[in-house]
A and B are shown apart, each in its own frame.
Chain A
């Protein structure tokens, strides 16, 4: 029987010879990602209540990212408890203040094609770029995974989304996702978004991760990209050997999809999502001239090295507009180091950008850079719900790193293509 990559992974993890979309099955978990936010502080008291330990410390990756660095005694206490949990249970894959967990999995090469993994954060879908099934769950369910190494999932249907052709300069994966949020809505429960086509094949892993990360905004079970040589090379670059069967985890040519969608990348314009939902999006021209107080470059989806390169490309030889503040929180320590070494940080700071510590930061109103009443921010992050980045009356516009950098220079939303020598 012809299957999609996701059906193959779920079938394998469930140990069943057959499973059909809509059924609920219990899967063995190859890897569990725990974060400081919904990790030890919520799981440890439950383990004590149950009188048990963790099922397999080698299959758990623990990262501090939401509350780093501590800004008050409450966040300091959460981080302390997280470190104590790692020591108590012998979690060797513990990354303390090294970056956002979703990036840690990618940088360390922990995700192999065909794996079934879980994360205690909705944007765990990020890792689907490696051709594995990884989705986000609440801390109560991650407690169950930590104890049993198992979780139930509905066998999802798959939506195949093909993007063909080349982007215009200044258009990137983030623009794809803001457009898809508008076109598909945020209520796609029970389906997996499988991305393909020549545009996706040409993307590096950082851009593929954007497509999978924001499958969370589509309300999907997760997002996935079939593995290819780019995937295998990323694993080798991370110091890991790709599994022998890695490249075989692909959808069959006659696999059954719920729907197939085809898009042309050459026609895509830079997109902006207006307050207060990622689905409230349109071409950047629709929002041109919207004045901003803050431009924010941060989060798992929008502060990878490739994102910082986009920001620097716009800022080179330009200045952040007086009265506007640009803040940049690199998504990992490795990104910070690489951006320092290749001159990217110098370009950003000479333009007037302020560097913030690595971590989830202001994206979920937890770290530096949160907004006051009635302020307006344009952000490379993935959510702009009311109150998401601070005060309830603040407005957040979502856009690509190119568009956010361009807005910081103009003090208002503009088409980044105008600053990239590729006017529309």
Chain B
């Protein structure tokens, strides 16, 4: 399954992903304003299965998990960037949103058709007919990622009596 690439620059911060003005609102309302300050069309036109491709330190800023949840809400298939904000990266993994370190981000044009296999670490740009290999998610975290995120993982561990 492939999706369209939405391309952003360097240092996209959590305040533009989940603006403080909508902090008290529902997740639907918050997601409707995701990336508004950079591209008002994004939240209106993004489709399930689309991908986000961005520059350095994507998700720099605050701990607000709504930043990662906004992309989950829009059913983004994966986020590709050369580096990520520390807490954003962790939040995204915990919600099962694939975040992959992708140094070749600058080769992707807005609207390119991409498909990603986060487990194999493969990115294909169908528009440009290019294939990339990327680092997989660290082994240590695969238990949680395979479970589908932190909540399903906690449920598994509770059921197995691993948490007392």
Contact = CB atoms under 8 A, between A and B. Distances in A.
Interface of A: 24, 37-38, 42, 46, 49-52, 66-67, 72, 74-75, 78, 120-122, 124, 136-141, 143-144, 147-148, 152, 186-187, 189, 219-221, 277, 279, 364-366, 370, 383, 385-388, 390, 392
Given A50-B158, A137-B87, A141-B91, A187 B60 contact: yes
Interface string B31-59: 00000111000000000000000001100
Interface in B65-99: 65, 68, 83-87, 89-91, 94-95
Contacts of A141: 90-91, 94, 150
Contact of A219 (B86, B138, B163): B86
A366 B16 CA distance: 15
A329 to B, nearest CB: 15
B164 to A, nearest CB: 9
Interface of B: 11, 13, 15-16, 19-21, 23-25, 36-38, 56-57, 60-65, 68, 83-87, 89-91, 94-95, 138, 140-141, 149-151, 154-155, 157-158, 163
Given A147-B163, A187-B56, A221 B65 contact: no
A24 B141 contact: yes
Given A38-B64, A148-B157, 15 more contacts: A38-B65, A78-B24, A122-B61, A122-B63, A137-B87, A138-B64, A140-B95, A141-B94, A141-B150, A189-B84, A189-B86, A219-B86, A364-B62, A366-B23, A387-B16
B50 to A, nearest CB: 23
A219 B68 contact: no
A365 B154 contact: no
Given A24-B138, A386-B37, A387-B21, A147 B63 contact: no
A60 B43 CA distance: 37
A384 to B, nearest CB: 10
Contacts of B155: 50
Given A24-B138, A189-B84, A387-B37, A42 B65 contact: yes
A158 B21 CA distance: 36
B163 A122 contact: no
Given A49-B151, A147-B163, A383-B15, A138 B65 contact: yes
Contact of B65 (A139, A189, A392): A139
Contact of B63 (A120, A186, A277): A120
Contact of A138 (B56, B57, B87): B87
A390 to B, nearest CB: 7
Contacts of B86: 189, 219-221
B20 A364 contact: yes
B19 A365 contact: yes
